[in-house]
Structure 1
Amino acid sequence: MTHDHLDTPVRAVSRPFGRVLTAMVTPFSPDGALDLDGAARLAEHLVTEQGNDALVVNGTTGESPTTTDAEKERLIRTVVETVGDRARVVAGVGTNDTRHTIELAAAAEKAGAHGLLVVTPYYNKPPQAGLLRHFTAVADATGLPVMLYDIPHRAGVPIETETLVRLAEHGRIVAVKDAKGDLTATSWVISRSDLAYYSGEDALTLPALAVGAVGVVGTSTHFSGVDTKRMIEAYDVGDTATALALHSRLLPLFTGIFRTQGTILVKAGLAAQGLPAGPVRSPLVDATEDQVAQLRADCAAAGLPLPE
């Protein structure tokens, strides 16, 4: 027996931050100082050349553990002034201290950010009741929309399904960057809430779309933004064959960018393109010649070769 329609209503798709967001690296000068001119140039490139709908600044990929609060605020202002009229600027403000996170959220709002990315408090492993209180307090502190960042392999604890469903009741908690790697858990939250889900793992973007996600907060999208957006748009219009073909072609870069810590390889790839990046700050270390060679091979395999 066949049915021409489903009895269950189709969930409305909400994309509060667009389809493709890049977790932007933070350019530094050769001596390790914050390079605001470079940040402006890189933000411009990511929006105009790579088709990003939004940029996340001061995330882990932006080496937020090593930048000061003052540097974070200056970076937000620079990126907002450069591309804020054409793209959303989402500020990473998460720490493992609720009071400090609220301070960073207020500073980000003052600096002109359009939204906040709030990671699960890391290392101190709070219980779910603590996560609920933490995220609610941050969402209460500003008028900005909040994207939760669920990444248990770094934070040490997941945001459990029931906690996410309760947090979704808050009017300003609108999205999740999902790096849990558990599409069943993702499916349950999507089916029980209006949270907009963004894949936090580049290679899981297409599978996540299949269970109701709306986009990606990517790392490889420093290089693959245009094709990643084409993949999502193809899926949106039901052209799953094109979406799968793009996913398969981009897979070497989706995964290769994480052969070592993603920031390290993104900065190496940007340098090869003559774009602002600079060194990483300790405790990270810059890419080795072998790592750069492997990155070149991965980019070439994905059909996006780096300049020689």
Structure 2
Amino acid sequence: MFRGTGTALITPFNEGAFDEAAYRKFIDFQLEGGVDALIVLGTTGEAPSVTEEERARIISCAVSHSNGRVPVIVGTGSNSTAHTVSMSVQAQELGADGVLVVTPYYNKPTQEGLHLHFKAVAEALSIPVIVYNVPGRTGCNILPETVARLLDTPNIVGIKEASGDMAQVDQLIRLVKPVRPDFMVYSGNDDQAFHLVCSGGDGIISVLSNVAPREMSFMVDRILAGDLEEARIEHLRLFPLMKGLFVESNPIPVKYGVAKLGYCTEEIRLPLTTASQSTKDRVDRDLENLGITG
């Protein structure tokens, strides 16, 4: 699908509505920063809070404005297999290059249920599917052995791994890469991207690259090029901001950060709220220390 850095894009709002002009400008900022993919309507994009009509507009805007320069991957997961299939088919019809499908949340499927869920989604599509594992949000952890069972489905092409368990990541890479070297393993946590890619992973689907696309792309590209020392230095330089963007629930801090750079308003949809003053002060300090200004 891609190797390197994909940005889990924020969704800009203005006076209650999707701000298409701001989105196009923000996509340009990302592409000029050298990111390798755009991930639309994930957690960072406030997907649970947009309407069906807005989903179509947001996807169409990203596809048309990127114009094939990098892959556009759309978050289409839900806790219903039928609804996930429906949203995935919609994304495919609107021109998405792939879909990112989170493990079903709240209803806590078994590992067999997860296996059948992802196979059903993939079999309904002709575009690539990336599994998304984030048990801290979903209450559901897809095990490496279950991912390995999906390798015989050709258009399941990778996983975004945000379990936070590096031993699980190592076991995943150990199981999948010898069987399918082309199966992409992406970090879903900015602060673990260095470690995951050094362990044999392929990149990051990043929150931080919303505000620092060039810096995150540089770090990941250095690892993939074998320059681990330069990558390690950049990882440690970025580390305070990686942590600062999660002092409140994502995407609250990063939405503020993008607004601070002038690419959107601070507007965020309930039940999320705008960043507290202490969070703003932390993000301001971390951006200033990195020399990132609007």
Q: TM-score range by the shorter chain?
A: over 0.9
RMSD over aligned CA atoms reads: 1.3
- Write out per-residue CA displacement over residues 49-82 of structure 1, whole angstroms, 9 at most, x where no aligned residue: x211111111111111111222111111101100
Q: Which residue of 1 is the match for residue 29 of structure 2? A: 45
Residues in 2 aligned to 1:98 and 1:105: alpha-carbon distance in whole angstroms: 10
Decide whether the 8 Å contact of 2:8 with 2:205 is kept in 1: yes
Counterparts in 2 of 1:37 and 1:156: CA distance versus 1, 3 Å? same
Residues in 2 aligned to 1:272 and 1:32: alpha-carbon distance in whole angstroms: 19
Residues in 1 aligned to 2:10 and 2:211: alpha-carbon distance in whole angstroms: 12
Q: Which residue of 1 is the match for residue 8 of structure 2? A: 23
Show the 5 A alignment for 1:230-249.
230-249=218-237
Q: Does 1:175 align with 2:158?
A: yes
Q: Which residue of 1 is the match for residue 256 of structure 2? A: 268
Residue 114 of structure 1 and its aligned partner are, at CA, apart by 0.3
Q: Which residue of 1 is the match for residue 174 of structure 2? A: 191
Q: Which residue of 2 is the match for residue 9 of structure 1? A: none
User: Segments of 4+ in structure 1 off by > 4 A?
Assistant: none
Decide whether the 8 Å contact of 1:269 with 1:306 is kept in 2: no
Q: Does 1:160 align with 2:131?
A: no
- Write out per-residue CA displacement over residues 199-239 of structure 1, whole angstroms, 9 at most, x where no aligned residue: 00001011001211110000011122212221122222322
Residues in 1 aligned to 2:22 and 2:201: alpha-carbon distance in whole angstroms: 32
Residue 171 of structure 1 and its aligned partner are, at CA, apart by 0.4
TM-score normalized with structure 2 length: 0.95
| Aligned counterpart for 1:138 among listed residues 113, 118, 121 | 121
Equivalent residue pairs, number: 289
Q: Which residue of 1 is the match for residue 242 of structure 2? A: 254
- Write out per-residue CA displacement over residues 132-157 of structure 1, whole angstroms, 9 at most, x where no aligned residue: 11111001111110110011111101
Q: Which residue of 2 is the match for residue 7 of structure 1? A: none
Show the 5 A alignment for 1:23-102.
23-29=8-14, 31-48=15-32, 50-102=33-85
Q: Which residue of 2 is the match for residue 306 of structure 1? A: 293
Decide whether the 8 Å contact of 2:89 with 2:125 is kept in 1: yes
TM-score normalized with structure 1 length: 0.91
Decide whether the 8 Å contact of 1:132 with 1:163 is kept in 2: yes
Q: Which residue of 2 is the match for residue 210 of structure 1? A: 198
Residues in 1 aligned to 2:13 and 2:224: alpha-carbon distance in whole angstroms: 37
Question: Which ranges of structure 2 fall in alignment gaps of 5 or more residues?
Answer: none
Residue 117 of structure 1 and its aligned partner are, at CA, apart by 0.1
Residues in 1 aligned to 2:252 and 2:224: alpha-carbon distance in whole angstroms: 32
Specify the SS of the correspondent of 1:95. Answer: coil
Specify the SS of the correspondent of 2:237. Answer: helix
Specify the SS of the correspondent of 2:17. Answer: coil
Counterparts in 2 of 1:277 and 1:84: CA distance versus 1, 3 Å? farther
Question: Which ranges of structure 1 fall in alignment gaps of 5 or more residues?
Answer: 1-15
Residue identity matched to 1:59: G
- Write out per-residue CA displacement over residues 248-278 of structure 1, whole angstroms, 9 at most, x where no aligned residue: 1000111111111221112211211111244
- Write out per-residue CA displacement over residues 25-62 of structure 1, whole angstroms, 9 at most, x where no aligned residue: 11111x211112221111121112x2111111111111
Residue 300 of structure 1 and its aligned partner are, at CA, apart by 2.5
Show the 5 A alignment for 1:217-232.
217-232=205-220
Residue identity matched to 2:104: P
Residues in 2 aligned to 1:201 and 1:304: alpha-carbon distance in whole angstroms: 23
Specify the SS of the correspondent of 1:262. Answer: coil
Residues in 2 aligned to 1:291 and 1:191: alpha-carbon distance in whole angstroms: 38
Residue 304 of structure 1 and its aligned partner are, at CA, apart by 3.3
Residue 289 of structure 1 and its aligned partner are, at CA, apart by 2.5
Q: Which residue of 1 is the match for residue 272 of structure 2? A: 284
Decide whether the 8 Å contact of 1:224 with 1:304 is kept in 2: no
Residues in 2 aligned to 1:160 and 1:38: alpha-carbon distance in whole angstroms: 39
How much identity, in percent, do the aligned residues show? 35
